[in-house]
A and B are shown apart, each in its own frame.
Chain A
Amino acid sequence: MTETTLDNGLKVLIREEHAAPLASVWCWYKVGSKDEGPGLTGVSHWCEHMNFKGTERIPRDQVKGIIEQFGGSWNGYTWIDQTTYLETATRDALDRMLFIESQRMASCLYHPDDCESERTVIISELQGGENDPDQLLDQELTATAFKAHPYRHPTIGWLSDLETMTRDDLYGYYRRYYVPNNATLVIVGDVETDEALRRVTHHFGGIAPGPAIARLATVEPEQTGERRLTLRKEGTAGYLKVAYHAPGVAHPQFFPLLILDAVLTGAKGLNLWASFRVPPPQRSTRLYRALVERGLASNVSGSLLPTSDPFLFTLSATATEGESLASVEAVLLEELDRARREGVTAAELAKAKAQLKARLVFDGDSVTNIAHQLGYFETIATATLFLNAPAAIAAVTLDEVAAAARAVLTDANRTIGWFDPLPVREQRPADEVAQ
Chain B
Amino acid sequence: MTVGTSESRAGLAPVRITLDNGIVCLSKQTRTTPAVAINLAVRAGSICDPAATPGATWLLSRTIDRGTLTRSADAIAEDLDGRGITLTVSVTRHLFSLVCTCLAEDFDPVLALLGDIVMSPALSETEIAIRKGEVITAIRQDDDNPAVRASESLMALLYHDGHPYGRRTKGSIDVVESLTRDHLARLHAARFAPSQLTAVIVGDVDPARAGEVVSTVFGEWRRPEPPAVTVAAPVQAADRRRLVIPMMNKAQADIAYGFTTIRRTDPAYYAFWLMNNALGQYSIGGRLGDSIRERQGMAYYVSSALDANVAEGPLAIRAGVSPANVDRAVASIDEELRTLRHDGLAAKELDESRQYLIGSMPRALETNAGIANFLQVAELFGLGLDYDVRLPGLLRAVTLDDANAAARQAVDPDRATVVIAGPYQEGPRD
Could you list which residues of chain A lie within 8 angstroms of chain B, going by C-beta atoms? 19-22, 64-65, 68-73, 88-90, 116-128, 130-133, 233-237, 266-267, 278-285, 292-293, 295, 298-299, 318-322, 351, 354-359, 361-362, 364-367, 424-425, 427, 429-430, 432-435
Q: Is the CB of A351 within 8 A of B81?
A: yes
A320 CB contacts on chain B under 8 angstroms: 133-134, 136-137
Q: Is B247 located at the chain interface by the 8 A CB criterion? A: yes
Are the C-beta atoms of A235 and B249 separated by less than 8 Å?
A: yes
Distance of A117 Cα from B141 Cα, bound (Å):
32
Give the chain A neighbours of B360 by CB distance below 8 A. 71-73
Complex CA distance for A329 and B175, rounded to whole angstroms? 30
CB of B85 within 8 A of CB of A298, answer no
Please give the distance in Å from B89's CB to the nearest CB on chain A.
12
Cβ A282 vs Cβ B322 within 8 A: no
Q: Is B209's CB within 8 Å of the partner chain A?
A: no
Q: What residues of chain B lie closer than 8 Å to A366, measured between beta carbons?
A: 366-367
Contact across chains for A122 and B33 when beta carbons are under 8 A apart: no
Q: How close is A424's CB to chain B, nearest CB, in angstroms? A: 6
For the complex formed, measure the closest distance between the CB of A318 and the CB atoms of chain B, giving whole angstroms. Answer: 6
Interchain CA distance A424-B356 in the complex, whole Å: 45
Ordered by A's residue number, 18 sampled pairs between the chains whose C-beta atoms are within 8 Å are A20-B32, A20-B365, A69-B352, A72-B363, A90-B359, A116-B297, A117-B295, A128-B300, A131-B147, A235-B249, A318-B137, A321-B140, A362-B84, A427-B248, A430-B425, A434-B240, A434-B241, A435-B429
Q: Is the CB of B32 within 8 A of A120?
A: no
Instruction: Output the least CB separation between A173 and chain B (Å).
Output: 20
Q: How far is the CA of A101 from the CA of B367 in the complex (A)?
A: 26
Contact A237 B362 (CB under 8 A): no
Stretch at the interface among B44-52, B72-80, B213-221: B72-80
**Does B189 touch A at the CB level, under 8 Å?**
no
Residues A365 and B322 in contact in the complex (CB < 8 Å), given A68-B356, A117-B295: no
Interfacial chain B residues near A267, Cβ < 8 Å: 84
Query: Residue B252 at the A interface, CB < 8 A?
Result: yes
B298 within 8 A of A: yes
Whole-angstrom distance between the Cβ of A7 and the nearest chain B Cβ: 34
Per the bound structure, the CA–CA distance linking A366 and B35 in Å amounts to 13
0/1 string, B45-72, CB within 8 A of A gives 1 = 0000000000000000000000000000
Task: For the complex formed, measure the closest distance between the CB of B196 and the CB atoms of chain A, giving whole angstroms.
Answer: 25
8 tightest Cβ-Cβ pairs between the two chains A and B: A71-B359, A358-B84, A117-B297, A283-B77, A234-B249, A127-B252, A127-B251, A71-B360
CB distance from B158 to the nearest CB of A (A): 12
Give the distance to chain A from B96, nearest Cβ to Cβ, in Å: 19
A322–B294 alpha-carbon span in the complex (Å): 44
B185 at the interface (CB under 8 A from A): no
Q: What residues on A are CB-neighbors of B298 within 8 Å? A: 120-121, 124
Identify 10 new A-B residue pairs, CB closer than 8 A, beyond the known A20-B32, A22-B362, A427-B245. A20-B365, A71-B356, A119-B297, A122-B300, A125-B300, A295-B129, A351-B82, A355-B83, A429-B246, A434-B239
Known: A64-B284, A117-B297, A295-B129. A130 touches B251 (CB 8 A): yes
Residue among B32, B138, B248, B422 having the largest count of chain A Cβ atoms under 10 Å: B32
Interface size on B, residues (CB 8 A): 88
Tell me if B368 and A131 are in contact (CB < 8 A). Answer: no
Pick the residue among B355, B362, B426 that contacts A21 (CB under 8 A): B362
Interface: B283 (CB within 8 A) = yes
Chain B residues, CB < 8 A from A367: 366
Question: Which chain A residue shows the least CB distance to B103?
Answer: A358
Contacts of A233 in B (CB 8 A): 249
Taking a contact as CB atoms closer than 8 A, the residue among B85, B144, B362 that contacts A90 in the complex is B362
In the complex formed, the residue of A with least CB distance to B99 is A278
Measured CB to CB, the nearest residue on chain B to A233 is B249
* Residue B378, interface by CB 8 Å: no
Other-chain residue from B34, B73, B147, B246 in contact with A430 (beta carbon distance below 8 A): B246
Q: Which residues of A contact B400 (CB under 8 A)?
A: none
Are B239 and A71 neighbours in the complex by a CB distance under 8 Å? no
Q: Are A432 and B242 within 8 A (Cβ)?
A: yes
Is B258 in contact with chain A by the CB < 8 A criterion?
Answer: no
**CA A233 – CA B251 in complex, angstroms?**
12
The residue among B84, B143, B242 with the most chain A CB atoms within 10 A of its own CB is B84
Among candidates A64, A119, A124, A298, residue contacting B320 with C-beta atoms closer than 8 Å: A124
**Interface centre among A68, A124, A295, by most B CB within 10 Å?**
A124
Residue B321 interfacial (CB < 8 Å):
yes
Given contacts A131-B145, A131-B252, A365-B32, contact A354 B322 (CB under 8 A): no
Task: Provide the residues of chain B in CB contact with A283, threshold 8 Å.
Answer: 73, 76-77, 80-81
- Given that A124-B320, A362-B35, A434-B239 are contacting pairs, would A237 and B141 also be in contact in the complex, using a CB cutoff of 8 Å? yes
Query: Chain B residues near A120 (CB, 8 Å)?
Result: 297-298, 322, 325
User: In the bound complex, do residue A236 and residue B144 qualify as a contact, i.e. CB atoms below 8 Å apart?
Assistant: yes
Q: What separation, in Å, do the CA atoms of A424 and B145 have in the docked complex?
A: 12
Known contacts A365-B368, A424-B144, A434-B241; decide if A358 and B83 are in contact (CB<8 Å).
Answer: yes
Which chain B residue lies CB-closest to A283?
A: B77
A124-B322, A125-B300 known; A133+B144 contact, CB < 8 A: yes
A180 CB to closest chain B CB (Å) equals 27
B180 located at the interface, meaning its Cβ lies under 8 Å from any Cβ of chain A in the complex: no
Find B86's partner among A72, A126, A237, A278 (CB 8 Å cutoff): A278
CB distance from B322 to the nearest CB of A (A): 6
Bound form: Cα–Cα A283–B65 in Å: 11
With A124-B322, A320-B137, A321-B133 as contacts: A131 and B35 at CB distance below 8 Å:
no
Given contacts A65-B352, A72-B359, contact A362 B101 (CB under 8 A): yes
Whole-angstrom distance between the alpha carbons of A105 and B145 in the complex?
38
Check: B88 CB closer than 8 A to any chain A CB: yes
Tell me whether B283 and A65 are in contact (CB under 8 A). Answer: yes
* B244 and A281 form a contact (CB under 8 A): no
| Residue B192 interfacial (CB < 8 Å) | no
B361 sits at the interface (CB 8 A): yes
Task: Please give, as numbers and ranges, the residues of chain B lying within 8 Å of A279 by CB-CB distance.
Answer: 86, 88
Chain B 278-309, CB within 8 Å of chain A: the 1/0 string? 00001110000010011111111100000000
> Is the beta-carbon distance between B157 and A432 smaller than 8 angstroms?
yes
Considering the chains assembled together, what is the distance between the CA atoms of A368 and B220 in angstroms?
42
- Which residues of chain A have C-beta atoms less than 8 A from B357's C-beta? 71
Smallest CB separation, A394 vs chain B (Å): 14
> Which residue in B84, B136, B144, B426 is a CB contact (below 8 Å) of A235?
B144
Contact across chains for A282 and B244 when beta carbons are under 8 A apart? no
Check B83 against A354 for contact (C-beta < 8 Å): yes
In this complex, what residue of A is CB-closest to B364? A71
Q: Is the Cβ of B293 less than 8 Å from the Cβ of A121?
A: yes
Q: Is the CB of A281 within 8 A of B80?
A: yes
For A282, the chain B residues whose CB sits under 8 A away are: 81, 86
Find the B residue at minimum CB distance from A118: B297
CA gap between A358 and B103 in the complex, in Å: 7
> Contact: B137 with A237, CB < 8 Å?
yes
Q: Does B130 contact A (CB under 8 A)?
A: yes
* A284, B72: Cα distance in complex, Å: 12
- Which residues from chain A contact B102 at a C-beta distance below 8 Å? 358
**Nearest B residue (CB) for A427:** B246
Q: Produce 1/0 per residue, B12-55, CB < 8 A to A.
A: 00000000000000000011111100000000000000000000
Contact A64 B283 (CB under 8 A): yes
- Encoded as 1 (CB less than 8 Å from any A CB) or 0, chain B from 325 to 360 comes to 100000000000000000000000000100111111
> In the bound complex, do residue A357 and residue B296 qualify as a contact, i.e. CB atoms below 8 Å apart?
no
